Amino acid sequence: MRKIDKKFRPIPEKLKDCFQERQENLLKKEELHQFDSQCYNSSIKEDLKKLYHNKCAFCESKLNEIPNDSYQFTVEHFRPKKGTNSYFWLGYEWSNLMPSCQKCNGKKDDNFRLPNKRKKQKLPLKTENGQKIIDLERCRADGEELLAENPFLLHPELENPMDFLAFDINKLGYFIENIQNKRAKYTIDLCQLNRSDLWEKRKKIYDNFLTELKDKLVELVEIYGADYTEKELKFGFHSIFKKMYFGAIEEQTEYCSFRLFLIENFEILFLEKIEADEMKDILSEAFVLFLNDVEIN
């Protein structure tokens, strides 16, 4: 999961029109209101995809439009629009919508846990021209009432999930709690962020980098022996480090948070995997030279 910057107002015009057209029916039928998924048309989906860099809000996997694929794009409601924990009035609320893959969507479903159910927001109404209408400003995810709920599920538009989450230094690709935190554990478990296909993909990123680095070390020593220059050292490893670095900082890349973790723990994850001290020294020097040319955010 990554922090996402999203403006909650103004609401996209298509979504605003959809809400206005259906507000009367929504108020009459409340929980029984049949939501129209056609509201989430191509322009709204494109806006969400752009904001989330075409990645799932929870697992950071690339989204696609292939029917029945487990990573197919779907519009997820942070607070469920139906079920026993229904927030039916938030079905068309922009700050409640985020893109999700089918796998995360299916795991999360309508589950939404609060530490204190008595703080759950009631239908927010106001009177306008003598008529009861839904108060849209109280529907915003950053509104006082909804923030006071303090839900267990982490919200990538309101907080940085990686302040709560971390990766296991031993079981690579595996999410753990940054500190012992109920919200971190709930989010990992609810969205199953450690399901086998996900942590195996993240682990493969590491395995591929380690293999490339080891191969490059052997190649460098075979060509230059101990007579390599600083220029040759930098050039030899530049493409590998560049791929590692830009994969961590370019938001459209899958699993950015894990890639950044690899860089921040380079010594433990890579240097300690090199057996020969002279090879370890070469790799360490090459990495330092690369870092001198870039700045990790």
Kindly indicate the confidence band of residue 66, based on its pLDDT and cuts at 50, 70 and 90.
confident
Residue 286 forms part of a structural domain: yes
Residue 30's region, left for phi above 0, alpha for psi from -120 to 50, else beta, is left
Neighbours of 293 (CB within 10 A): 11
pTM attached to this predicted model: 0.88
What is the structure's pLDDT at 266?
95
Given 142, 171, 194, the domain boundary residue is 194
Residue 283 forms part of a structural domain: yes
- Are residues 173 and 207 part of one domain? no
Mean predicted confidence (pLDDT) in 57-86 = 86
Given 178, 194, 210, the domain boundary residue is 194
Cα(50)–Cα(52) distance, rounded to whole angstroms? 5
- Are residues 275 and 207 part of one domain? yes
- Check pLDDT > 50 for residue 87: yes
Q: What is the pLDDT of residues 121-174, one digit of tens each?
A: 999 999 999 889 999 999 999 999 999 999 999 999 999 999 999 999 999 999
Q: Could you give the residue ranges of the DSSP H alpha helices within 31-174?
A: 42-51, 102-108, 144-149
Residue 80 forms part of a structural domain: yes
Please indicate whether residue 71 or residue 109 has the higher confidence score (pLDDT): 109
- Are residues 144 and 181 part of one domain? yes
Given 194, 225, 247, the domain boundary residue is 194
- Are residues 211 and 160 part of one domain? no
Residue 8 forms part of a structural domain: no
Beta bridge partners of 72: 64
Strand pairing report for 165-167 and 175-177: antiparallel
Count the domains in the chain: 2
Both tokens of 196, joined, read 């086998």
Kindly indicate the confidence band of residue 295, based on its pLDDT and cuts at 50, 70 and 90.
low
- Are residues 210 and 152 part of one domain? no
- Are residues 219 and 78 part of one domain? no
Least confidently predicted of 64-73, 140-149, 224-233 = 64-73
Residues of the domain holding 71: 13-194
